[in-house]
Amino acid sequence: MRDMTKHVRTSCLEVAYEDRGSPQAEPVILVHGFPDDIRTWDGVVAPLVDAGYRTLTPFLRGFGPTRFLEKTALRSGQLAALGQDVIEFADALGIERFTLVGHDWGARAAYIVAASWPERVRGLIALSVGYGTSTPRDRLSYDQARAYWYQWYFGLERGRVALEQDRRGLCRWLWSTWSPDWHFDEATFETTARSFDNPDFVEVSIHSYRHRWGDAPGDHRYDGIEARIAGLPRIGVATTVLHGADDGATFPETSAGKEQHFTGPYDRRVIDSVGHFVQRERPHAVVDAVLAQMRP
């Protein structure tokens, strides 16, 4: 495949991304999660471009060719930083309004964008994550706490070392357990796993989970966003949530019962025989959800 990677600078990053479709077409920004990269959207991008839309797929901080501009910058993986990154990415490309699709970390960032800059978001499609979950005040079932073992593991030095020394082995195992009926081949995994060789991958990933549960300080430049989202502001953007019934990472019940947080149109669908990676396992479901919002 010909390298389609472009680069744009934000306040703290040089963001690598792919841009497909006509520059004049309605833009759709698709944000991946952990441990993943922009190849997760391959089954979604082509149909959207064929339908006449423009797709932009950035590599998150700590993934693939995206790099921090300053060597001394805190390698923060906090969710507020990821949300700010999305807005700055759109600003750098001169994109005023866009449809936003996010999976996993990308979904958490997308909720922050929709809550904080609603005028910028035409529609939101969130995959595998409910709004306002995974915070220090969250009450988890024992089964969900067990499924989040890797997050507690990353809170230990032993977990950081494991991710540093065996990132492919650990991440491959996460893929397998999070989507038990998805049988990916080694080439599919390795194509994405190259993004985990980013020099900041481990530091950003570990910080993300430690900060999420209140075990690491954040970057002060995002204090304003943190304060704003702590109150779970209601979201007025039209939102669709897709969750796999067999998600082994974040169970579908965690995205249930969130309707009170949305003042705009809200739809949640649980997809049978699908695990955590909805966009890889059922890309047509994601495409259909995007098109339904783009063509009301």
Position 295 confidence tier, pLDDT thresholds 50, 70, 90: confident
**Is the pLDDT assigned to residue 1 strictly greater than 70?**
no
Q: How many domains does the chain have?
A: 1
pLDDT at 98 > cutoff 70: yes
| Domain CATH number, residue 44 | 3.40.50.1820
Task: Copy the structure tokens of residue 150.
Answer: 């890797």
List, for residues 41-88, the tens digit of each pLDDT value: 999 999 999 999 999 999 999 999 999 999 999 999 999 999 999 999
Domain that holds residue 187: 5-294
Measure Cα distances from 209 to 130, 156, 243 in Å. 17, 11, 21
pLDDT of residue 2: 67
Instruction: Kindly give the residue spans of alpha helices, DSSP state H, lying in the chain.
Output: 42-50, 79-92, 105-116, 142-147, 149-153, 157-165, 167-178, 186-193, 201-212, 223-230, 278-281, 283-294
pLDDT-derived band of residue 24, with 50, 70 and 90 as boundaries? Answer: very high
- The DSSP call for residue 262 is B
Confidence of residue 294 (pLDDT cuts 50, 70, 90): confident
Q: What's the confidence (pLDDT) of residue 249? A: 98
Is the pTM higher than 0.85? The answer reads yes
Using a pLDDT cut of 70, give the percent of the chain over it: 99
Distance CA 291, CA 212 (A): 32
Which pLDDT tens digit goes with each residue over 244-253? 999 999 999 9
pLDDT, tens digit (0-9, with 9 covering 90-100), for 151-184: 999 999 999 999 999 999 999 999 999 999 999 9
Residue 133 has pLDDT above 90, yes or no: no
